Chain A
């Protein structure tokens, strides 16, 4: 899909020749991509392809070396626009949580609203209602009072998604939301993401290795390799066995 061909008013994310480098490694080597409002895009590719970097460029956690980024009407080359992060929900890769962490599930979800609230303002009852609503949405309301470190991997992922949703974002970025989960939890989480995406009319970018789910729920698949976009298009066209075989260099690293 040619980024230039998209109508400007519906394009909410656009990267132009984006280059990102961490020390001696180049993570993105001139990536151009446009994402329209309401799209659910899967980003796939082998390890080290630059998938996470692509996400962090959009929410300003990664630093652009060259090129241009356009997100929700803000255009930037360096220096992230003030207040933009509040409009972008981010679910990073699973990180282990200390079981002794002195935070309940409900408090962790509320963290998603703190950026919107701003400094010196306490959450109101309306904010807590939003937190409870998103917990309900991800099926975690019954564990709201539990210490967050006591949850299983799948439950923690649901809470992470709820936290990102509590932000009431316009864009949702998910980085391997099903990593290290069992098959049933993987399917449940991906279906949850797709349902929420549709219900909230979000624009969603999801790094995943789940081929079958990407086929089923995503509007578009972007395949990445060695810091570049290797192929992109409709899931049925892109996620062909021979294409993936070439992408992964002989070993098909995607789940079915």
Chain B
């Protein structure tokens, strides 16, 4: 196996992007998985994609467009999820489809070749620039700092947002902070992984880790490990077999989820739980 390609600057950038993107996405994924925000997260990711295309169409930075759109999406979707009076699936579904439609509308409106638009759609980890890397590093650092600094609040929100609020935790503020951070992470990884695929890298490593541990600290660590592994393995496999990198990363992360589910100790617990409970409850 000839791995001399990893000596080149563009490949080293890709490896670094895989590390930073893998960590940021999978840590965000833990919030998404534990707080049941999968659908909300997908909607925010697609809003970011539409925003990036809007930026590309109007001639300003796709990242700025993605960031603005994802923040707006989080601000609109957040109250729907927070109200708790009705199932927010329908309004979120509408937002999801609207942002998707807008994305393709902006793409259609763009004059000339659509190379940049397609890159935003599928991602191109091999062409990330130093500027992309700087943004990724910033977002990954903010996500990591959030996990460390607000660990106990995240733990409470993850358990139950109403209970967290009732216990005197600024749950609403932290919840919106996490939604905005989701938007920021999608924005930073859009170019390398792609707007259509990014949410898989957010969801899959965290969902895989969720199958394997009852400890939230380990869950964050495992998710980050899986995220980086999926990124690096995907990069290697895509290079070796000449496959699209973003799609390969996503397929590998999905494979990890399937494996984790198959070998999950939590599945075994479910099987023996009724008998064990009979013995321990005594009610």
Contacts and interface: CB of A to CB of B under 8 A. Distances in A.
A88 B15 CA distance: 50
B242 interface: no
A99 B270 contact: yes
Contact of B160 (A95, A120, A152, A182): A95
Nearest to B210: A100
Contact of A85 (B149, B158, B165, B273): B165
A14 interface: no
16 contacts: A59-B166, A90-B163, A90-B166, A92-B162, A95-B160, A99-B266, A100-B214, A101-B159, A102-B210, A102-B216, A110-B152, A114-B152, A114-B153, A114-B164, A114-B167, A117-B152
Interface in B205-262: 210-211, 213-216, 218-219
Contacts of A108: 159
Contact of A155 (B167, B218, B281): B281
A111 B283 contact: no
B168 A83 contact: yes
By DSSP majority rule, is chain A's interface helix, strand, loop, or mixed? mixed
Nearest to A173: B166
B210 A122 contact: no
A103 interface: yes
Interface string B148-191: 01101101101110111111111000000000000000000000
A184 B167 CA distance: 29
Nearest to A101: B159
A85 B159 contact: no
Interface string A205-216: 000000000000
Given A119-B150, A185-B283, A103 B167 contact: no
B85 A111 contact: no
A100 B156 CA distance: 16
Nearest to B160: A95
Contact of B167 (A22, A85, A107): A85
